[in-house]
Structure 1
Amino acid sequence: MSSATGATRLGWFRTGWPRGAFGALLGIALAALLGHLIPASEGLPWIMAPVGASAVLVFAVPASPLAQPWPVVGGNLISVMVGMAVGKLCALGGIGAPVAVSLAVGGAIAVMALTRCTHPPGGAAAILGAMAGIAPAAHLPGPLAPLALNVIGIVGVGWLYNAATGHPWPHIPVVPPSPAPIRTVTYDREDLDAVLADWDETLDVEPDDLDALFRAVERRVLRRWEDDHK
């Protein structure tokens, strides 16, 4: 096998689904292993469903703002605590589970936004917390303990694995210096596609949306340039 062919295959692994799939396999394996530290007498599951969704984000789109360490940790753990608090209050007030889970998810979204840790799996964590909180035999820490152990596994593997496969995590975008404003220029769609390929990152933004954004920025810059030179 030529070196060029080997580099091509390695590049496909670094950006394609095999990299994300294998990383998620490792992350969930450690999450499950840590989850078994919870005593069986507690009657709690050793793996929590939200970490499966977290693994997709951490390993498949590690550059996404929703997949960074603080959103993963805060989004899951804060949401499950919000859910537990809402569930307990609803249980005390005689409010049923459908209302409890609705309030829990809405409250979790609000708290995640305020604490800058929006993470989609947090919605599932809030539902888990609400269902645990409204249960007659509910007691602390409830699902918080296994979820915390699961999250530690995902974050630990995410940090090591993403860095080892060329995707440092937390993601820090490399912004090149701005060129000297010699003249107003534009770009072709092929330029955008080439830059995305060079970046070697999977973003959770469609290229068409990026193109629309950059075209809007171009038009704004052009209008400002025209106003400055009237």
Structure 2
Amino acid sequence: MKRFLHLMGWRANATSHLEKWLSAIGALCAIAVIYAVTHWLLPSEAALWVVASMGASAVLLFAVPHGALSQPWAVLGGQVLSALVGVTCQKLLPDHPFTPALAVGIAILVMHYARCIHPPGGATALAAVSGGPAIAALGFHYVLSPVLLNVVLILAVAVLFNGLFPWRRYPAPLARLPEAPRLPSGPAPEDLYHALRKMDSFIDVQFDDLLKILQLAQRHAQSQRLGLDDILLGACYSNAQSGNAWAVRQVIDDHPGKRTRQDQLIYKVVAGAGKGNTGSCRRQDLLNWAAHAVIAQGDGWVRVTPQDSASNALLRQLKGETPRP
């Protein structure tokens, strides 16, 4: 089941309940305005198509306000250019069975080259072709009203609503730009940019957001640094290295009641490079090697406090899952 959920894209969601509710309330306000204006300009049957397209835009603008697909040019260019493509295809190939597919395909191509990928644009292009007589009768007027008008309205609501909350400021450049992390052991901003280029795929994340995530992660890592008193009997420690250098060691014996730099302890490699081997070293040497304490969870390892790691080891021993040291 875990592998199936992973394949389906089921992931942990780190957003708070407040953030989820704000996303819903923001979209509610925006669509209320769009719905009113659209039904004032168009018959209800035609209006449903436009509202559906803008509803998809609302998900991006209010649930993912800092995403690359949600920025003003992506919304404006994606919607308007796609509307132009859809109307043009309908004019050139009216009522042809292939016209809807052609309109969506060309719309995606145009959005790529115009650097304004916005998924709801595909729905806007499709609506121009298969939206019925009311949409077809508008011709190129469809691009200006309702599409352009609705885009201006939804962007205005997004700027005003998201601007009320410091962490949701929209567009993304209005948010405070994070300072570039300067830890010598961590990747530089240029390395992140290189990694994005090597992926050769459209990633819905702003470069500044990546820097902020890296900065927060490194601050958290600094706050979790281990001390001599954190090297505990039974606890497991990871060196946090990448590739074949990664390993997890468990302390299986130490000097009772003594936690100095020079006292000796015995460890066992329980995962990664050298798994199954045992060794001995000074407490200070293990402290220098270890990045953080971990416990086994499923098929992997997660970071915890040394106390939690030691308690987990004791619990497993009591259950007979691991031998006592």
Using the size of structure 2 for normalisation, the TM-score is 0.47
- Larger proportion of helix: 1
State whether residues 28 and 153 of structure 1, in contact with CA within 8 Å, keep that contact through their aligned partners in structure 2. no
Structure 1 residue 151: Cα displacement: 1.7
- Larger proportion of strand: 2
Question: Take 1:185 and 1:24, find their aligned partners in 2: how far apart are those partners?
Answer: 38
Letter in 1 for 2:90: G
Residue 152 of structure 2 corresponds to 152
1:50-65 aligned at under 5 Å gives the runs 50-65=53-68
Structure 1 residue 45: Cα displacement: 1.9
State whether residues 75 and 122 of structure 1, in contact with CA within 8 Å, keep that contact through their aligned partners in structure 2. yes
- Asked whether 1:17 is paired with 2:20, we answer yes
Kindly report the root-mean-square deviation, in angstroms, between the aligned alpha carbons of the 2 structures.
Answer: 3.3
Residue 176 of structure 1 corresponds to 179
Q: How many residues align?
A: 176
- Asked whether 1:82 is paired with 2:89, we answer no
Superposed CA deviations along residues 159-195 of structure 1, whole A, max 9, x for unmatched, are 11111122111102623134274xx358xxxxx6992
Letter in 2 for 1:157: V
Question: Take 1:137 and 1:179, find their aligned partners in 2: how far apart are those partners?
Answer: 57
Match of 1:48 among 44, 51, 66: 51
1:54-203 aligned at under 5 Å gives the runs 54-91=57-94, 96-97=96-97, 99-132=98-131, 138-141=137-140, 143-144=142-143, 145-166=145-166, 167-172=168-173, 174-179=177-182, 181=184, 184=185, 195=216
- Which of the two has higher C-alpha Rg? 2
Gapped regions of structure 2 (runs ≥ 5) = 1-14, 188-212, 220-241, 244-325
Question: Take 1:134 and 1:96, find their aligned partners in 2: how far apart are those partners?
Answer: 14
State whether residues 83 and 129 of structure 1, in contact with CA within 8 Å, keep that contact through their aligned partners in structure 2. yes
Using the size of structure 1 for normalisation, the TM-score is 0.65
Letter in 2 for 1:68: Q
Residue 224 of structure 1 corresponds to none
Q: Secondary structure at the match of 2:179?
A: coil
Structure 1 residue 67: Cα displacement: 0.3
State whether residues 83 and 108 of structure 1, in contact with CA within 8 Å, keep that contact through their aligned partners in structure 2. yes
Question: Take 2:76 and 2:152, find their aligned partners in 1: how far apart are those partners?
Answer: 8
Structure 1 residue 139: Cα displacement: 4.1
State whether residues 70 and 118 of structure 2, in contact with CA within 8 Å, keep that contact through their aligned partners in structure 1. yes
Question: Take 1:65 and 1:185, find their aligned partners in 2: how far apart are those partners?
Answer: 25
Distance 1:193 1:153, change over 3 A: same
Question: Take 2:125 and 2:165, find their aligned partners in 1: how far apart are those partners?
Answer: 32
Distance 1:100 1:133, change over 3 A: farther
Q: Secondary structure at the match of 2:172?
A: coil
Identical amino acids, percent of aligned pairs: 35
